[in-house]
Structure 1
């Protein structure tokens, strides 16, 4: 299944299921190349469950798969601009730093023995095709980080994922993520928090592709800036794969339905290039992962 959160005409949101994922992905691929993803039309079955306003709410029901397939209404047409972050308010967003060998090398670090994690807040998320507005004072070193995102589908208590099979079973699905970064703020201190949490800057979506429809070890990630390829990676090159991250994280904290793990970016980020290639007003960052679709966010400096 392909599940998304979409904005309704009355200002609320609802979860939905793509009516025809194959057609939607093909349409989106063409739209990402032509730069009009926000106006692309998608056919979606709204999912109507009391108290459920987005995919995150849906995942908190143990029978979310049945609800998604059994309570979907007649299809409606929405545009890319109507699509919200697939999980608008995750309880936790755990980001992984330095998880592709080429990126670790380009940033001057050694391969880690355990994952490097930091927090991103829900306020930092934005829709997959929304514009990213950056205050001019914060625009000195803006960077892109195309990533595979993992979405948790059930509660995993502390110590509750002791093996790979259990960890994989906890994953609801995957989506595309931009760990949008202000490098000058990131490296102002030893802690990365301030550089990773610009409000409404990290595109997330366009939909959640469930585990039965996506293999995280067989995908290709490509990031483009203004149509020019900057990152290209195979997800199997992750130092710590999704299951390994779930296993590690649950050695010190619970995971809950709707929690998000961003698995880290590959080589090719603007900061590591010579000369550096920072994002500027008017630049568009497009990130695609084969089998998951893509996101595209235009930067506006104000």
Structure 2
């Protein structure tokens, strides 16, 4: 299934995408898509619903985060060897973990530059959404805890991340720095999460053109590894790293500026499109 939510912020309605690519209203079946909806039994109940029995959504408008109430927003750094090389970093011996403090935003919601930012960057990433509690899980069992996958733009302010001391988190957690969606594609529809093409363009120029095949630590390894440091619960999101082509790696570096348009996508998981706004041009709640 491809699950989504549409409508104004705070008023989103649940929906799914049928086999013909049409959006169907899930409101007759559930009030909303939440972390609880991602549990195996709840997803099985949704799969039993005939999409043809659901009303069509002709004009969905804004596409929100695919489910309400995301939990932890966990990220993996330097998880592609060629991306590590372009940033001048060594390939890590173990996964590099950090957090996004920001709430996830909709796939096409704007990216708002922090006040005074001059080094805001882009990163297309495969998102992994947890569907059942995972604590000290084996690698062989890890994927059974995954509800589904989605596109994430791990927007990053490089000055804050690398030049301001402390952890990476302060460069990763600014408001609007985590577009998620447009859909959550359930795990049964993704035959191999390690064989997905991924790309990103800024103002029509393609900068990233990679594949999840080149991850250093695959999805199963990441779920297994992270579950040894924190218990994962339904609705937790893991952003698994980015292939090469980020702005920091360009010669000279290229960063986002007001008026830019960022488009990105992952095979089978849909596309995002964000307009970049200056802080004083934005209305944030």
TM-score relative to the length of structure 2? 0.89
Kept in 2, the 8 Å contact 1:134–1:300? The answer is yes
Aligned structure 1 segments of 4 or more residues deviating by more than 6 angstroms: none
Number of aligned pairs? 276
- Structure-1 separation of matches of 2:174 and 2:70: 16
Does 2:275 align with 1:298? yes
TM-superposed CA distance for 1:68, in Å, is: 5.0
- Structure-2 separation of matches of 1:49 and 1:122: 30
1:272 match? 249
Does 2:189 align with 1:190? no
Does 2:218 align with 1:241? yes
Alignment match of 1:121 (pick from 101, 121, 129)? 101
TM-superposed CA distance for 1:4, in Å, is: 1.0
Structure 1 segments unaligned to the other structure (5+ residues): 25-41
Counterpart secondary structure, 2:107: coil
- Structure-1 separation of matches of 2:59 and 2:92: 42
- Structure-1 separation of matches of 2:119 and 2:184: 30
1:35-77 per-position Cα deviation (integer Å, ceiling 9, x unaligned)? xxxxxxx522315556x52243411473322135438662231
2:42 match? 63
Structure 2 segments unaligned to the other structure (5+ residues): 281-285
1:23-46 per-position Cα deviation (integer Å, ceiling 9, x unaligned)? 43xxxxxxxxxxxxxxxxx52231
Kept in 2, the 8 Å contact 1:152–1:255? The answer is yes
2:263 match? 286
Bigger CA drift: 61-70 or 222-231?
Answer: 61-70
2:283 match? none
1:54 match? 33
2:90 match? 110
- Structure-1 separation of matches of 2:55 and 2:258: 37
2:119 match? 141
Counterpart secondary structure, 1:63: helix
Change (3 A) 1:16 1:128: same
- Structure-2 separation of matches of 1:295 and 1:218: 20
What RMSD over aligned residues (CA atoms) do the two structures have, in Å? 2.1
1:180-199 per-position Cα deviation (integer Å, ceiling 9, x unaligned)? 11111112113111110111
Change (3 A) 1:86 1:44: same
Alignment match of 1:96 (pick from 51, 54, 76)? 76
Does 2:198 align with 1:221? yes
TM-superposed CA distance for 1:202, in Å, is: 1.9
Kept in 2, the 8 Å contact 1:93–1:259? The answer is yes
1:38 match? none
Kept in 2, the 8 Å contact 1:152–1:170? The answer is yes
Change (3 A) 1:68 1:57: farther
- Structure-2 separation of matches of 1:238 and 1:47: 38
- Structure-1 separation of matches of 2:189 and 2:176: 29
The structure with the largest helix share of the pair is: 1
- Structure-1 separation of matches of 2:77 and 2:269: 22
- Structure-2 separation of matches of 1:299 and 1:162: 41
- Structure-1 separation of matches of 2:124 and 2:111: 15
Change (3 A) 1:224 1:190: same
